[in-house]
């Protein structure tokens, strides 16, 4: 099997040994509480329940009429105790529905649905109703992703099992423990999108999973669940960060480029995380909404690294010390991986649909230093996986020259952090890019508001 790759990228220490061979444990803290963010991807939802309501596991508790939205569901059966704001990933406070579990097994799942006899519209409606969003980190509503723009021809469905972030091993465990569901999810996604070929993509540091996935694909071929479900293969990519980025994955596996400002569908591809594909299978076969999340708990300050499965809304802090024991000297808490995750001010935040891991790092594992002035060495350019010039973008953003920043590719940056990782001056490049993007979007919103107001005035004059 040939090893595929892309230009650029870096090789940070993998640090996956602590959890790579640990099976996923189902856990729930003794507090019996979940804090479920009302919105977890897409347009803002509104609560459908009130304080005091009794809810069943899988019951829809918040939704929006907007197309670009995904409902959320109760992850435990119990009583709604509060609806109030709470800290979530990103260090912002958002509305959360607090449910106290009653220990019962009451469920309100959807009815199972055969994805290969359902119409495409029925399948997309099922994906949305189940509240599926991208579990690889972006939380993009899955029903939107599986419904590419009209006229787009999808050739490849790529199952993203690269898991290139250091420490994280939950995707690898899902592929090992639930290979049949992952492969079934690939077949379902191929059927919905019309993709001719499905490819499960791993980094070569997970080569031991190739026979596991190939056996699951072979079993599917022996008993095909539907038309087009037989052409599923496994591909290996070089172990390199950010191999799991959509653009890099597509380039490495198909040789195609996603155009600037375009979507993967513009290159004939749809990319889905392997965890999302497992959830996709469950949404059809079991009628199960996305109500639980597997994640890796690790880091040098974690005495009990592990892979766990918890109800969505579980507070990380409630897992300490019953499930997770910490060593003295926690210097940083990260929600997600160390490259693209968010440093959190405390562990009191809920596991969400896109929480792939929580890391407790020591001072030696993280760079807690102030940035120095850029020395213009150009290392950031040599490793940029998007072939941009990060130094020039950062300079333009600092100067407030957004047009120049956009010209240099600000909006094409995927914020993978490779540039900041190699920067000898420790310039916080990603933070500068995020600020720049926020400034661009704010300006766009102002212009849109002005345009709308002008339109209103014109109508009034008529």
**Distance between CA atoms of residues 377 and 422, nearest Å:** 10
Would you say 384 is a known binding-site residue? yes
Would you say 164 is a known binding-site residue? no
- DSSP-assigned beta bridge partners for residue 101: 78
Would you say 96 is a known binding-site residue? no
**Distance between CA atoms of residues 390 and 413, nearest Å:** 9
- DSSP-assigned beta bridge partners for residue 37: 96
Would you say 302 is a known binding-site residue? no
Would you say 419 is a known binding-site residue? yes
Would you say 269 is a known binding-site residue? no
C-beta of residue 79 within 8 angstroms of C-beta of residue 55: yes
Would you say 377 is a known binding-site residue? yes
Would you say 230 is a known binding-site residue? no
**Residues contributing to the annotated binding site:** 374, 377, 380, 384, 413, 416, 419, 423
Binding residues for [4Fe-4S] cluster: 374, 377, 380, 384, 413, 416, 419, 423
């Amino acid at each position: 099997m040939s090893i595929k790759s892309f230009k650029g990228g870096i090789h940070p220490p993998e640090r996956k040994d602590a959890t790579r061979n640990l099976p996923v444990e189902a856990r729930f803290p003794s507090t019996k509480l979940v804090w479920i963010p009302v919105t977890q991807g897409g347009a803002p939802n509104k609560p459908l329940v009130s304080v005091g309501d009794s809810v069943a596991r899988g019951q829809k508790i918040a939704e929006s009429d907007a197309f670009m939205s995904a409902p959320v569901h109760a992850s435990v059966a119990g009583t709604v105790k509060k609806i109030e704001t709470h800290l979530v990933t990103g260090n912002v406070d958002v509305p959360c529905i607090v449910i106290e579990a009653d220990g019962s097994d009451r469920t309100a799942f959807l009815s199972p649905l055969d994805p290969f006899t359902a119409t495409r519209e029925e399948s997309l409606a099922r994906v949305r109703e189940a509240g599926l969003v991208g579990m690889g980190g972006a939380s993009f509503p899955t029903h939107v992703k599986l419904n590419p723009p009209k006229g787009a021809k999808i050739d490849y469905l790529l199952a993203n099992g690269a898991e290139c972030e250091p420490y994280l091993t939950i995707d690898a465990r899902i592929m090992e423990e639930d290979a049949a569901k992952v492969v079934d999810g690939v077949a379902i996604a191929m059927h919905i999108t019309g993709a001719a070929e499905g490819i499960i993509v791993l980094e070569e540091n997970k080569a031991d999973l190739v026979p596991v996935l190939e056996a699951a694909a072979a079993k599917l071929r022996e008993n095909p669940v539907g038309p087009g479900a037989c052409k599923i293969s496994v591909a290996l990519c070089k172990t390199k960060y950010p191999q799991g980025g959509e653009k890099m994955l597509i380039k490495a596996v198909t040789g195609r480029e996603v155009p600037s400002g375009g979507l993967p569908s513009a290159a004939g591809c749809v990319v889905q995380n392997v965890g999302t594909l497992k959830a996709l299978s469950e949404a059809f076969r079991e009628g199960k909404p996305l109500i639980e999340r597997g994640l890796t708990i690790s880091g040098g300050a974690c005495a009990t690294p592990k892979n766990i499965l918890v109800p969505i809304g579980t507070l990380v802090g409630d897992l300490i010390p019953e499930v997770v024991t910490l060593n003295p000297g926690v210097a940083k808490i990260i929600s997600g991986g160390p490259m693209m995750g968010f440093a959190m001010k405390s562990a009191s935040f809920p596991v969400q649909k896109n929480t792939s891991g929580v890391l407790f790092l020591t001072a030696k594992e993280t760079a807690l230093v102030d940035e120095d002035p850029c020395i213009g060495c150009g290392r950031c350019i040599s490793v940029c996986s998007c072939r941009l010039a990060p130094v020039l973008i950062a300079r333009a953003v600092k100067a407030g020259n957004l047009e120049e920043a956009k010209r240099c590719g600000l909006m094409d940056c995927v914020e993978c952090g490779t540039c900041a990782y190699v920067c000898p001056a420790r310039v916080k490049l990603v933070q500068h890019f995020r600020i720049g993007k926020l400034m661009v979007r704010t300006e766009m919103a102002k212009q849109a508001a002005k345009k709308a107001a002008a339109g209103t005035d014109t109508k009034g004059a008529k």
